[in-house]
Structure 1
Protein backbone atom coordinates (compact mmCIF):
# COMPACT_ATOMS: atom_id res chain seq x y z
CA UNK A 1 0.00 0.00 0.00
CA UNK A 2 2.82 2.43 0.49
CA UNK A 3 4.45 4.38 -2.28
CA UNK A 4 7.58 2.82 -3.77
CA UNK A 5 10.72 4.23 -2.17
CA UNK A 6 12.70 6.69 -4.22
CA UNK A 7 14.84 4.75 -6.70
CA UNK A 8 17.57 7.37 -6.32
CA UNK A 9 18.71 6.67 -2.76
CA UNK A 10 22.33 6.30 -3.73
CA UNK A 11 24.75 3.45 -3.93
CA UNK A 12 25.31 3.33 -0.17
CA UNK A 13 21.71 2.38 0.68
CA UNK A 14 21.60 -0.10 -2.19
CA UNK A 15 24.74 -1.83 -1.01
CA UNK A 16 23.36 -2.02 2.52
CA UNK A 17 20.15 -3.65 1.30
CA UNK A 18 22.09 -6.26 -0.66
CA UNK A 19 24.27 -7.06 2.38
CA UNK A 20 21.14 -7.53 4.47
CA UNK A 21 20.16 -10.56 2.33
CA UNK A 22 16.48 -10.21 3.32
CA UNK A 23 15.11 -13.25 1.45
CA UNK A 24 15.66 -16.83 2.59
CA UNK A 25 15.82 -19.60 -0.02
CA UNK A 26 13.91 -22.78 0.67
CA UNK A 27 15.94 -25.93 1.26
CA UNK A 28 12.84 -28.13 1.17
CA UNK A 29 10.11 -28.75 -1.38
CA UNK A 30 8.05 -25.76 -2.48
CA UNK A 31 5.20 -25.15 -0.03
CA UNK A 32 1.79 -23.76 -0.89
CA UNK A 33 2.24 -20.53 1.07
CA UNK A 34 5.45 -19.72 -0.80
CA UNK A 35 3.69 -20.38 -4.11
CA UNK A 36 0.71 -18.25 -3.05
CA UNK A 37 2.85 -15.29 -1.95
CA UNK A 38 4.96 -15.52 -5.10
CA UNK A 39 1.89 -15.62 -7.32
CA UNK A 40 0.37 -12.58 -5.61
CA UNK A 41 3.60 -10.61 -5.98
CA UNK A 42 3.84 -11.49 -9.67
CA UNK A 43 0.20 -10.54 -10.33
CA UNK A 44 0.56 -7.21 -8.54
CA UNK A 45 3.83 -6.46 -10.29
CA UNK A 46 2.21 -7.04 -13.67
CA UNK A 47 -0.84 -5.01 -12.67
CA UNK A 48 1.53 -2.14 -11.82
CA UNK A 49 3.29 -2.62 -15.16
CA UNK A 50 6.64 -3.20 -13.45
CA UNK A 51 9.47 -5.43 -14.57
CA UNK A 52 11.29 -7.67 -12.12
CA UNK A 53 14.28 -5.34 -12.28
CA UNK A 54 12.12 -2.27 -11.53
CA UNK A 55 10.39 -3.91 -8.58
CA UNK A 56 13.69 -5.19 -7.20
CA UNK A 57 15.11 -1.66 -7.34
CA UNK A 58 12.02 -0.11 -5.70
CA UNK A 59 12.01 -2.73 -2.93
CA UNK A 60 15.80 -2.58 -2.51
CA UNK A 61 16.09 -6.33 -3.08
CA UNK A 62 18.24 -8.22 -5.54
CA UNK A 63 16.75 -9.29 -8.86
CA UNK A 64 17.68 -13.01 -8.44
CA UNK A 65 16.05 -13.18 -5.00
CA UNK A 66 12.84 -11.59 -6.29
CA UNK A 67 12.76 -13.97 -9.25
CA UNK A 68 13.05 -16.94 -6.88
CA UNK A 69 10.35 -15.49 -4.67
CA UNK A 70 7.85 -15.13 -7.51
CA UNK A 71 8.40 -18.76 -8.48
CA UNK A 72 7.87 -19.99 -4.93
CA UNK A 73 11.53 -20.97 -4.55
CA UNK A 74 12.20 -18.56 -1.70
CA UNK A 75 10.43 -17.36 1.41
CA UNK A 76 10.65 -13.65 2.31
CA UNK A 77 11.52 -12.30 5.72
CA UNK A 78 9.04 -9.83 7.23
CA UNK A 79 11.46 -7.00 6.41
CA UNK A 80 11.67 -7.91 2.73
CA UNK A 81 7.90 -8.56 2.51
CA UNK A 82 7.23 -5.08 3.88
CA UNK A 83 9.58 -3.58 1.27
CA UNK A 84 7.81 -5.46 -1.52
CA UNK A 85 4.37 -4.46 -0.21
CA UNK A 86 5.37 -0.79 -0.15
CA UNK A 87 6.75 -0.96 -3.67
CA UNK A 88 3.54 -2.59 -4.94
CA UNK A 89 1.13 -0.31 -3.09
CA UNK A 90 -0.12 -3.28 -1.06
CA UNK A 91 0.31 -4.63 2.46
CA UNK A 92 1.78 -7.66 4.15
CA UNK A 93 -1.62 -8.99 5.21
CA UNK A 94 -2.86 -8.87 1.60
CA UNK A 95 0.23 -10.61 0.26
CA UNK A 96 0.03 -13.34 2.90
CA UNK A 97 -3.71 -14.00 2.59
CA UNK A 98 -4.64 -17.42 1.21
CA UNK A 99 -5.79 -17.35 -2.41
CA UNK A 100 -8.09 -20.37 -2.48
CA UNK A 101 -11.36 -20.61 -0.60
CA UNK A 102 -11.62 -23.79 1.48
CA UNK A 103 -14.43 -25.34 3.45
CA UNK A 104 -18.03 -26.35 2.73
CA UNK A 105 -18.87 -23.15 0.82
CA UNK A 106 -16.00 -23.56 -1.67
CA UNK A 107 -18.45 -24.77 -4.33
CA UNK A 108 -20.63 -21.69 -3.80
CA UNK A 109 -18.31 -18.72 -4.37
CA UNK A 110 -21.23 -16.28 -4.30
CA UNK A 111 -21.82 -16.85 -0.57
CA UNK A 112 -19.22 -16.56 2.15
CA UNK A 113 -19.55 -16.16 5.91
CA UNK A 114 -16.57 -14.76 7.82
CA UNK A 115 -16.72 -15.49 11.54
CA UNK A 116 -15.29 -13.13 14.17
CA UNK A 117 -12.34 -15.47 14.71
CA UNK A 118 -11.69 -15.93 10.98
CA UNK A 119 -9.86 -13.89 8.37
CA UNK A 120 -6.18 -13.55 7.54
CA UNK A 121 -4.25 -11.33 9.95
CA UNK A 122 -1.03 -9.43 9.53
CA UNK A 123 0.68 -6.02 9.38
CA UNK A 124 -0.94 -3.22 7.41
CA UNK A 125 1.40 -0.25 7.54
CA UNK A 126 1.72 0.67 11.21
CA UNK A 127 -1.50 -1.12 12.13
CA UNK A 128 -2.60 -4.73 12.45
CA UNK A 129 -5.12 -5.81 9.83
CA UNK A 130 -7.69 -8.58 9.46
CA UNK A 131 -9.11 -9.37 6.03
CA UNK A 132 -12.88 -9.91 6.04
CA UNK A 133 -12.96 -12.00 2.88
CA UNK A 134 -11.23 -15.07 1.49
CA UNK A 135 -10.04 -15.83 -2.00
CA UNK A 136 -9.99 -13.76 -5.16
CA UNK A 137 -12.55 -10.98 -4.62
CA UNK A 138 -13.10 -7.65 -6.43
CA UNK A 139 -12.48 -5.65 -3.25
CA UNK A 140 -10.75 -6.17 0.10
CA UNK A 141 -12.70 -5.23 3.26
CA UNK A 142 -10.50 -5.08 6.37
CA UNK A 143 -10.49 -4.17 10.04
CA UNK A 144 -7.39 -2.23 11.12
CA UNK A 145 -6.34 -1.61 14.72
CA UNK A 146 -3.50 0.77 15.57
CA UNK A 147 -2.06 2.77 18.44
CA UNK A 148 0.99 4.39 16.87
CA UNK A 149 1.12 8.18 16.95
CA UNK A 150 3.99 8.21 14.43
CA UNK A 151 2.75 9.54 11.05
CA UNK A 152 5.17 7.31 9.17
CA UNK A 153 5.58 7.38 5.41
CA UNK A 154 2.91 8.29 2.87
CA UNK A 155 1.12 5.45 1.08
CA UNK A 156 -0.06 5.51 -2.52
CA UNK A 157 -1.74 2.92 -4.72
CA UNK A 158 -3.82 2.84 -7.88
CA UNK A 159 -7.02 1.65 -6.19
CA UNK A 160 -9.78 3.70 -4.55
CA UNK A 161 -10.13 3.28 -0.79
CA UNK A 162 -12.79 3.91 1.86
CA UNK A 163 -12.16 4.30 5.61
CA UNK A 164 -14.71 4.39 8.44
CA UNK A 165 -13.79 4.92 12.12
CA UNK A 166 -15.42 2.37 14.45
CA UNK A 167 -13.55 3.14 17.69
CA UNK A 168 -11.14 5.84 18.88
CA UNK A 169 -9.92 8.53 16.51
CA UNK A 170 -7.33 8.86 13.78
CA UNK A 171 -5.58 11.65 11.94
CA UNK A 172 -5.68 11.22 8.16
CA UNK A 173 -3.14 13.17 6.11
CA UNK A 174 -3.31 13.53 2.32
CA UNK A 175 -0.21 15.69 2.04
CA UNK A 176 -2.23 18.83 1.32
CA UNK A 177 -1.32 20.60 4.57
CA UNK A 178 -4.75 19.94 6.12
CA UNK A 179 -4.70 16.73 8.22
CA UNK A 180 -8.22 15.58 9.11
CA UNK A 181 -9.10 14.20 12.56
CA UNK A 182 -11.71 11.46 12.19
CA UNK A 183 -13.73 10.28 15.18
CA UNK A 184 -16.24 7.48 15.70
CA UNK A 185 -18.77 7.45 12.85
CA UNK A 186 -16.63 9.56 10.51
CA UNK A 187 -15.63 8.26 7.08
CA UNK A 188 -13.43 9.27 4.19
CA UNK A 189 -13.22 8.11 0.57
CA UNK A 190 -10.26 8.84 -1.67
CA UNK A 191 -9.44 7.91 -5.23
CA UNK A 192 -6.48 5.86 -6.38
CA UNK A 193 -3.15 7.65 -6.59
CA UNK A 194 -3.87 9.88 -3.59
CA UNK A 195 -0.92 10.00 -1.16
CA UNK A 196 -2.19 9.22 2.32
CA UNK A 197 -1.22 8.15 5.81
CA UNK A 198 -2.96 7.98 9.16
CA UNK A 199 -2.06 7.64 12.81
CA UNK A 200 -3.70 7.50 16.22
CA UNK A 201 -5.07 10.81 17.46
CA UNK A 202 -4.96 9.76 21.11
CA UNK A 203 -3.68 7.15 23.53
CA UNK A 204 -6.74 4.95 22.92
CA UNK A 205 -5.70 4.33 19.32
CA UNK A 206 -8.22 3.51 16.61
CA UNK A 207 -10.22 0.70 15.08
CA UNK A 208 -11.25 1.38 11.49
CA UNK A 209 -13.09 -0.42 8.73
CA UNK A 210 -11.34 -0.16 5.36
CA UNK A 211 -12.50 -1.20 1.90
CA UNK A 212 -9.89 -1.23 -0.84
CA UNK A 213 -10.37 -2.08 -4.48
CA UNK A 214 -8.52 -5.14 -5.74
CA UNK A 215 -5.83 -4.29 -8.30
CA UNK A 216 -6.71 -5.28 -11.85
CA UNK A 217 -4.33 -7.90 -13.19
CA UNK A 218 -3.11 -8.07 -16.75
Structure 2
Protein backbone atom coordinates (compact mmCIF):
# COMPACT_ATOMS: atom_id res chain seq x y z
CA UNK A 1 0.00 0.00 0.00
CA UNK A 2 1.39 3.42 -0.89
CA UNK A 3 1.90 6.21 1.63
CA UNK A 4 -0.91 8.16 -0.05
CA UNK A 5 -3.33 5.22 0.27
CA UNK A 6 -2.29 4.77 3.94
CA UNK A 7 -3.18 8.41 4.63
CA UNK A 8 -6.54 8.07 2.88
CA UNK A 9 -7.32 4.97 4.96
CA UNK A 10 -7.44 7.09 8.14
CA UNK A 11 -10.98 8.27 7.30
CA UNK A 12 -12.80 5.10 8.40
CA UNK A 13 -10.81 5.11 11.67
CA UNK A 14 -11.93 8.69 12.30
CA UNK A 15 -15.55 7.74 11.57
CA UNK A 16 -15.38 4.69 13.90
CA UNK A 17 -13.95 6.81 16.72
CA UNK A 18 -16.52 9.58 16.20
CA UNK A 19 -19.39 7.12 16.22
CA UNK A 20 -18.02 5.28 19.27
CA UNK A 21 -18.09 8.62 21.12
CA UNK A 22 -21.61 9.25 19.75
CA UNK A 23 -20.57 12.59 18.26
CA UNK A 24 -22.03 14.19 15.17
CA UNK A 25 -19.90 15.14 12.21
CA UNK A 26 -20.74 18.81 12.86
CA UNK A 27 -19.71 18.59 16.52
CA UNK A 28 -16.31 17.06 15.73
CA UNK A 29 -15.73 19.50 12.85
CA UNK A 30 -16.46 22.45 15.14
CA UNK A 31 -14.17 21.14 17.89
CA UNK A 32 -11.40 20.52 15.35
CA UNK A 33 -11.78 23.85 13.58
CA UNK A 34 -12.46 22.24 10.19
CA UNK A 35 -15.57 22.33 8.04
CA UNK A 36 -18.13 19.53 8.27
CA UNK A 37 -17.95 18.91 4.48
CA UNK A 38 -14.15 18.54 4.72
CA UNK A 39 -14.45 16.11 7.65
CA UNK A 40 -17.06 14.13 5.70
CA UNK A 41 -14.69 13.93 2.72
CA UNK A 42 -11.88 12.74 5.01
CA UNK A 43 -14.11 10.08 6.58
CA UNK A 44 -15.15 8.88 3.11
CA UNK A 45 -11.58 8.79 1.77
CA UNK A 46 -12.11 11.58 -0.76
CA UNK A 47 -9.77 14.02 0.94
CA UNK A 48 -6.49 13.72 2.81
CA UNK A 49 -5.97 15.80 5.97
CA UNK A 50 -2.69 17.58 6.63
CA UNK A 51 -0.89 16.42 9.76
CA UNK A 52 -2.09 19.59 11.51
CA UNK A 53 -5.71 18.92 10.57
CA UNK A 54 -5.39 15.27 11.55
CA UNK A 55 -3.98 16.29 14.94
CA UNK A 56 -6.86 18.74 15.52
CA UNK A 57 -9.37 16.05 14.53
CA UNK A 58 -7.64 13.60 16.90
CA UNK A 59 -7.80 16.18 19.71
CA UNK A 60 -11.53 16.66 19.03
CA UNK A 61 -11.95 12.89 19.33
CA UNK A 62 -9.85 12.71 22.53
CA UNK A 63 -7.17 10.56 20.90
CA UNK A 64 -3.93 11.05 18.98
CA UNK A 65 -3.07 11.15 15.29
CA UNK A 66 -0.79 8.16 15.83
CA UNK A 67 -3.68 6.14 17.25
CA UNK A 68 -5.94 7.08 14.34
CA UNK A 69 -3.26 6.15 11.81
CA UNK A 70 -2.55 2.86 13.61
CA UNK A 71 -6.27 2.02 13.78
CA UNK A 72 -6.54 2.55 10.04
CA UNK A 73 -4.25 -0.36 9.23
CA UNK A 74 -4.14 -4.03 10.21
CA UNK A 75 -1.09 -5.30 12.14
CA UNK A 76 1.67 -6.63 9.90
CA UNK A 77 4.06 -9.28 11.20
CA UNK A 78 6.70 -8.02 8.75
CA UNK A 79 6.53 -4.62 7.08
CA UNK A 80 9.07 -2.67 5.05
CA UNK A 81 8.64 1.10 4.88
CA UNK A 82 10.70 2.50 2.02
CA UNK A 83 12.71 5.69 2.46
CA UNK A 84 10.97 7.31 -0.50
CA UNK A 85 7.52 6.93 1.13
CA UNK A 86 7.62 10.30 2.92
CA UNK A 87 4.12 11.71 3.29
CA UNK A 88 3.09 15.14 2.07
CA UNK A 89 2.50 16.06 5.71
CA UNK A 90 6.22 15.59 6.47
CA UNK A 91 5.43 12.84 8.94
CA UNK A 92 6.30 9.32 7.87
CA UNK A 93 5.29 6.28 9.87
CA UNK A 94 8.25 3.92 10.25
CA UNK A 95 6.06 1.22 11.77
CA UNK A 96 2.54 0.91 10.41
CA UNK A 97 -0.61 -0.59 11.88
CA UNK A 98 -1.61 -1.34 15.45
CA UNK A 99 1.74 -2.67 16.65
CA UNK A 100 3.29 -2.77 20.11
CA UNK A 101 5.86 -0.22 18.99
CA UNK A 102 5.33 2.93 17.01
CA UNK A 103 7.91 5.05 15.26
CA UNK A 104 7.58 8.23 13.21
CA UNK A 105 9.98 10.36 11.22
CA UNK A 106 9.33 14.11 11.25
CA UNK A 107 10.87 16.58 8.81
CA UNK A 108 10.20 20.28 8.50
CA UNK A 109 8.25 22.40 10.94
CA UNK A 110 6.63 21.03 14.09
CA UNK A 111 3.99 22.62 16.34
CA UNK A 112 5.95 23.98 19.33
CA UNK A 113 2.73 25.07 21.06
CA UNK A 114 1.53 21.46 21.36
CA UNK A 115 2.56 19.72 24.58
CA UNK A 116 2.53 15.93 24.56
CA UNK A 117 2.05 13.52 27.44
CA UNK A 118 2.07 9.81 26.65
CA UNK A 119 1.11 6.74 28.61
CA UNK A 120 4.39 5.00 27.75
CA UNK A 121 8.05 5.93 27.34
CA UNK A 122 9.36 7.67 24.25
CA UNK A 123 12.75 8.12 22.59
CA UNK A 124 13.57 11.07 20.32
CA UNK A 125 16.54 10.69 17.95
CA UNK A 126 17.86 13.54 15.81
CA UNK A 127 18.91 11.94 12.50
CA UNK A 128 19.84 15.26 10.85
CA UNK A 129 20.00 18.89 11.95
CA UNK A 130 19.17 19.95 15.48
CA UNK A 131 16.13 20.22 17.71
CA UNK A 132 15.04 21.72 20.99
CA UNK A 133 13.13 19.43 23.33
CA UNK A 134 11.44 20.66 26.49
CA UNK A 135 10.56 18.09 29.16
CA UNK A 136 8.94 19.15 32.43
CA UNK A 137 9.85 22.76 31.56
CA UNK A 138 13.59 22.04 31.11
CA UNK A 139 15.04 22.71 27.64
CA UNK A 140 17.49 20.35 25.92
CA UNK A 141 19.25 21.10 22.64
CA UNK A 142 19.95 18.00 20.56
CA UNK A 143 22.23 17.73 17.54
CA UNK A 144 22.67 15.10 14.86
CA UNK A 145 22.95 11.65 16.45
CA UNK A 146 21.69 12.78 19.88
CA UNK A 147 18.83 11.02 21.65
CA UNK A 148 16.51 12.04 24.44
CA UNK A 149 14.62 9.51 26.54
CA UNK A 150 11.31 10.73 27.97
CA UNK A 151 9.61 8.67 30.67
CA UNK A 152 5.88 8.03 30.51
CA UNK A 153 3.49 10.83 31.50
CA UNK A 154 6.17 13.56 31.28
CA UNK A 155 4.85 16.68 29.53
CA UNK A 156 7.10 17.48 26.59
CA UNK A 157 7.30 19.29 23.29
CA UNK A 158 9.91 19.73 20.59
CA UNK A 159 10.79 21.76 17.52
CA UNK A 160 13.49 21.72 14.84
CA UNK A 161 16.18 24.37 15.13
CA UNK A 162 17.72 23.99 11.67
CA UNK A 163 16.38 23.55 8.17
CA UNK A 164 16.46 19.90 7.08
CA UNK A 165 16.12 18.55 10.61
CA UNK A 166 14.81 14.97 10.82
CA UNK A 167 13.60 13.67 14.15
CA UNK A 168 12.74 10.03 14.73
CA UNK A 169 10.38 9.26 17.58
CA UNK A 170 10.08 5.70 18.84
CA UNK A 171 7.73 4.66 21.62
CA UNK A 172 5.81 1.78 23.08
CA UNK A 173 2.33 2.05 21.58
CA UNK A 174 -0.33 3.79 23.66
CA UNK A 175 -2.62 0.73 23.66
CA UNK A 176 0.07 -1.46 25.33
CA UNK A 177 0.23 -1.68 29.12
CA UNK A 178 3.81 -1.50 30.37
CA UNK A 179 4.47 -2.80 33.89
CA UNK A 180 6.58 -0.57 36.06
CA UNK A 181 9.32 -2.52 37.87
CA UNK A 182 7.96 -1.07 41.10
CA UNK A 183 4.78 -3.05 40.38
CA UNK A 184 6.67 -6.38 40.29
**Superposition TM-score tier, normalisation by shorter sequence:** 0.5 to 0.7
Alignment of 1:135-174 (within 5 A): 135-146=97-108, 148=109, 152-160=112-120, 161-174=122-135
TM-score (normalised: structure 1) = 0.55
User: 1:113 matched to which residue of 2?
Assistant: 80
User: Which of 1 and 2 has greater Rg?
Assistant: 1
More off after superposition, 205-214 vs 49-58: 49-58
C-alpha distance after superposition, 1:106-150 (max 9, x if no partner): xxx4222333224x6243xxxx2111233332222122222x4x8
134-143 or 55-64: which moved more? 55-64
Structure 1 partner of 2:64:
90
* Shift in alpha-carbon separation, 1:57–1:175, aligned structure 2, 3 A: farther
Number of aligned residue pairs: give it. 167
Higher relative contact order (CA 8 A, sep 6+): 1
TM-score, length basis structure 2: 0.62
Q: Deviations over 1:50-96 (max 9, x none)?
A: 55268556424588986x57963875654643421344453389639
Query: Once the 2 structures are TM-superposed, how far is the Cα of residue 170 of structure 1 from its aligned partner?
Result: 0.5
Gaps of 5+ in 1: 1-31, 102-108
Gaps of 5+ in 2: 177-184
Of 154, 158, 162, the residue aligned with 1:194 is 154
**Alignment-derived partner of residue 44 in structure 2:** 72
